[in-house]
Structure 1
Amino acid sequence: MRMDMGELVIEREFSAPRGAVWAAFTEPEILAEWFGPEGWGVHIDTVTIEPRVGGVQKFVMHLLEDPTQTSPVHARFTEVREHELLVGEDGPHEMTLNLVIEMRVQFADCPAGTALRITQGPLPAEVLEPARAGWISSFTKLDRLFAAHL
């Protein structure tokens, strides 16, 4: 059986300094406040982030209306350049025919504050748009967090 696979690329600017956007991805207390689309949350007690090569990123997203519905993340960092780049591998996953999913998060300065570029894949073609929508929804939560604290 062959599954059509693709790669998700999202580019987004935040009105926040690069260090604050980096912290949103690397500090457990901050990640737990924004990660996951609207209607989903992350309990801080499920979060472990070790932003170094070989370090782990683990947490469990849960549906707020039904916490038994979960989506765990268990990745290992393969490349880390502080305030510039996080690369991690998560998997293997059954939904990608046991492929490992790589995620690259690049941070750069821009006139608005910080430019973020996320590349994630390979992903089954049918989950590309739902994944994009999830990130966009998560970033709305992150914008609110920055507005409240910066």
Structure 2
Amino acid sequence: MDMGQLVLEHEFAVPRPALWAAFIEPEILAEWFGPEGWGVHLDTVTIDPRVGGVQEFVMHSLEDPTQTSPVKAKFTEVREHELLVGQDGPHEMTLSLVIELRVELFDRPNGSLLKITQGPLPAEVIEPARAGWESSFTKLEKVFADFM
């Protein structure tokens, strides 16, 4: 099976601490995480942003709530307002692979840059994963617009 990495960047018109909070504050994460058509119930979210801490939640289809996609990651690197690295897995979708998610935050003149690196992923999953993240970013932009 061909494997690869997803790398994508997105600029937000908010400071790094606001972007950081979107990944570590359960109330905020539950508002935006998951592609359009998917949601996260706040009562499924546990986040302990430290090395060895966990990030757990369950995404569910809004159309069919029996369709779920659990996330159960352990943080391996944490630098406040700069870096979150977590490992999720093993999962059935990836034939028991552990997937690493790297979230990097950088200052930009009009806000901040988010860089996501995720993998290894089966090659055929990379573009759907990219579309899912980009859809999630649209939801996050709306959260920032509503609360900033």
Please give the range of the TM-score, normalised by the shorter of the 2 chains: over 0.9
Query: How far does residue 128 in structure 1 lie from its aligned partner after superposition?
Result: 0.3
| 1:25 alignment partner, one of 19, 23, 26 | 23
Aligned partners of 1:95 and 1:124 also within 8 Å = no
Residue of structure 1 equivalent to 2:57:
59
CA distance in 2, matches of 1:64, 1:92: 25
Cα deviation code 1:52-89 (max 9, x no counterpart): 00000000000001100000000000000000000000
Unaligned runs of 5+ in 2: none
1:124-139 correspondence to structure 2 within 5 Å? 124-139=122-137
1:2-50 deviation per Cα after TM superposition (whole angstroms, max 9, x unaligned): x100000011100111110000000000000000011100000000000
Query: Any conservation in 2 of the 1:79–1:85 contact (CA below 8 Å)?
Result: yes
Q: Among 83, 86, 104, which residue is 1:85 paired with?
A: 83
Partner of 1:47: 45
Per-residue deviation at 1:93? 1.8
2 CA distance for matches of 1:68 and 1:31? Answer: 21
Distance of 2:75 and 2:105 partners within structure 1: 16
The Cα of 1:94 is off from its aligned counterpart by 2.5
* Deviating 4+ runs (over 2 angstroms): 94-97
Alpha-carbon distance in 1 for matches of 2:22, 2:92: 29
Measured in 2, the distance between the counterparts of 1:128 and 1:114 equals: 24
Q: Which residue of structure 1 aligns with residue 74 of structure 2?
A: 76
Structure with more strand by fraction: 1
Query: How far apart are the structure 2 equivalents of 1:142 and 1:95?
Result: 26
For residues 99 and 69 of structure 2, the distance between their equivalents in structure 1, rounded to whole angstroms, comes to 15
Equivalence for 1:112: 110
Q: Which residue number in structure 1 is paired with residue 99 of structure 2? A: 101
Identity between Structure 1 and Structure 2 (%):
78
Please report how far the alpha carbon of residue 112 of structure 1 lies from its aligned counterpart in structure 2 after TM superposition.
Answer: 2.2
Q: Secondary structure at the match of 1:93?
A: coil
Gaps of at least 5 residues in structure 1 are none
